[in-house]
Structure 1
Amino acid sequence: MSYCAHEGKLYLIPLPFLVGVAVAGVLQNAALESSSYLKYAEVPWHLIALLISFALLKFPGSYYPYWGRIFIPHVANGAILRTLWLLFLWFRKPQKAPENDHVDSLAESPDADMVL
C-alpha cells in the first residue's frame, strides 16, 4: 500500500482487492467441484495450496512493473484474506462422524455372537 500511496493511487486499492476475493472464491468452488474427497477431508489441502500460491504471488510485489506493483499485491491480499476466512469457516463447521465404524457396527448387530 505504501507504493500506491507514494504514487497517489490509493483509490485503486479496492478494485484489485475485490478481484482477489472473487478469484479465491472461484478457485475454492472449482476445487470442491472437481474432487468430492475435499468436501469431507479433515485438512483443507486445497485452501492451504491457495494460500501458498497467492503468498508466492505477493512476495515479489516490488519487482513487478509499474501497474503490476499496484494491482498484483492487492489481488493477492484479497485472495489471502478470503482464503483465511474460508479456512476459519472450514474448521468451524461441525465434523461429520465416519459412517463405516466397523467396531460399533459389529457390536450393535444381532449376529455379533457369531464368529466370522
Structure 2
Amino acid sequence: MRVSMAQMGDPDKVKSQLGIIRERLWEAVPDSVKDFPWKKAEKKILEKLLFHGQKALKWSLIVLFIVSSLSDAIFSISRNQELIIPIGLLVGCLMTDFLRETLRELFPGSEGKVLQRHYLGLACFFVLVKFMSTYFALQARVFILNVANGGLMQVLWLWRSLVEENDKGNGENSISNQDAQLAITAED
C-alpha cells in the first residue's frame, strides 16, 4: 500500500493505485452493506430533501411577503398616506383577477401545473412592480407598492384555494399523503 513519491508523479500510476485501493476496500466491506439498495435509498432521500426544500422555500417567501407588506404599510403611514393602503390593495386584487381571467382566455383548458405557472407568473409580475416602484415619485411609489401587495396577496389566496381544490380532488391532504408514501417506501 505504500506508494513512493516517484510513483505519484505519473497520473496513470495514481489512477491504478486508486483502483487497487478501491477494490481492496470493496472486498473488506460486509455483504450486508453490498446488498443494500443504495440507488433506491438515494432516490428516497432526494425526494424527501426536495419536498422539505419546497416547503421551506414556500414558508420563507410567505414570511418575506408579510414583512415586506408591513414595511410598506409603515412607509405609507410615515408619509401620512394611510388612506392609499386600502385603495392600493383593492386595485391590486382587481388587477390580479383581471390578469387571471385574461390568462384563462388566452390559454383555455389550463389546469393543474399550467395554472400554477400562471400564478407564479403573476406573482413574479407583482414582485417586478414592487422593484420598479423605486423609480417613481413618492406618492406614486406608495400607491404602486400597495397595488403590488394587493396583487401578491390575491395570488397567494388563489394559489391556496387551488391547492385546497386539488386536495379535495385527491381525497387526502397532499402533504400527509407524500409523508405517508415516503414512510412506506422507506420501510421497504
TM-score normalised by structure 2 residue count: 0.46
Q: Distance in 2 between matches of 1:65 and 1:50?
A: 24
Task: Please tell me whether Structure 1 or Structure 2 has the larger radius of gyration of its CA atoms.
Answer: 2
Instruction: Determine whether 1:32 maps to 2:115.
Output: no
Where does 1:83-94 land on structure 2 (aligned, <5 Å)?
83-94=155-166
Distance of aligned partners of 1:94 and 1:3 in 2 relative to their CA distance in 1, 3 Å threshold:
closer
Show the counterpart of 2:138.
Answer: 66
Query: Which range is displaced more, 74-83 or 7-16?
Result: 7-16
Show the counterpart of 2:147.
Answer: 75
Q: Distance in 2 between matches of 1:53 and 1:94?
A: 24
SS class of match (2:83) = helix
| Cα displacement string for residues 42-94 of structure 1 (whole angstroms, at most 9, x for unaligned residues) | 35111100001101111344442122221000000000000011111111114
- Give the gaps of 5 or more residues in structure 1: 98-116
Q: Distance in 2 between matches of 1:41 and 1:68?
A: 36
Q: Distance in 1 between matches of 2:165 and 2:154?
A: 17
Show the counterpart of 2:86.
Answer: 14
Residue of structure 1 aligned with 2:112, choices 14, 18, 41: 41
With a CA cutoff of 8 Å and minimum separation of 6, indicate the structure with the bigger relative contact order. Answer: 1
List structure 1 segments (4+ residues) > 6 angstroms apart after TM superposition.
Answer: none
SS class of match (1:36) = coil
Q: Distance in 1 between matches of 2:142 and 2:161?
A: 30
Aligned-residue Cα RMSD (Å) equals 2.0
Q: Distance in 2 between matches of 1:35 and 1:57?
A: 23
> Is the helix fraction higher in 1 or 2?
2
TM-score normalised by structure 1 residue count: 0.72
Q: Distance in 2 between matches of 1:17 and 1:42?
A: 27
